[in-house]
Amino acid sequence: PDAKLVAGNTEVGIETKFKHVDYPVMVSIARVPELQQLAFDSDGALLIGGAVTLSALEHFIEHAVAERPKGNNGGLQAMLDMLRWFASVQIRNVAVLAGNIATASPISDLNPVLIALGASLTMASTGAAPRQVLVRDFFIKYRTVDMQPTE
C-alpha cells in the first residue's frame, strides 16, 4: 500500500535526484492496458489514459487533426503545438501527461492548455465510484492537487 506508482518516471527522477526523496518500492503502471486508452468518446472528447506517453499522444493528435474536418480542431491543435515544445523527444517518449498533472508539475506546459480547454479528469480508487474533477479545480496550490491517497 505504500508503493509509489510510476509510469513515465520523469518526475520521480527529479524527486529522487534533487529532493532526495526515497521510494523503497515503486510499481510501474506503464503496461496496464486500461491506462493505455487513447481515443475519442461518442461526444468527440479526447480520452487519454494515465500511462499514455506524450509521444503517443502527440502522434495520435497529429493523425486526428489530419483526418478530421478543418475548423473542428482548435483544441487538438493547441495541444499539438504545445506538445512539440514540451521537453525533448527522449523525455516525451517516456513521460506521461497524468504524471505531470498528478504532481502539479510547474514546468508542465500542457496544464494551462488543459485548463483553457475545460478538460476534466476521471479519478479512480478501489472501493469508490470514479469521480470527475475539472483540471482547473484539480490544482489547489503549488504542488498540491485534489487527489486522495488511494486515487
pLDDT in tens, 38-86: 999 999 999 999 999 999 999 999 999 999 888 889 999 999 999 998 8
List CB contacts of 147: < 8 A, sequence separation 6 or more. 102, 123, 138
Band (pLDDT 50/70/90 cuts) for residue 106 is confident
Task: Tell me: pLDDT of 11 over 90.
Answer: no
Task: Tell me: pLDDT of 1 over 90.
Answer: no
Written as nine digits, the cell of 135 is 483540471
Could you give the angle at the alpha carbon of 4 between the alpha carbons of 16 and 89, nearest 5°? 60
CA dihedral of residues 92, 97, 102, 107 (deg, nearest 10): 50
Band (pLDDT 50/70/90 cuts) for residue 118 is very high
Say what percent of the chain tops pLDDT 70.
100
Distance CA 131, CA 123 (A): 5
List CB contacts of 21: < 8 A, sequence separation 6 or more. 12, 15
Band (pLDDT 50/70/90 cuts) for residue 120 is very high
Task: Tell me: pLDDT of 107 over 80.
Answer: no
What pLDDT does residue 58 have?
A: 97
Band (pLDDT 50/70/90 cuts) for residue 8 is confident
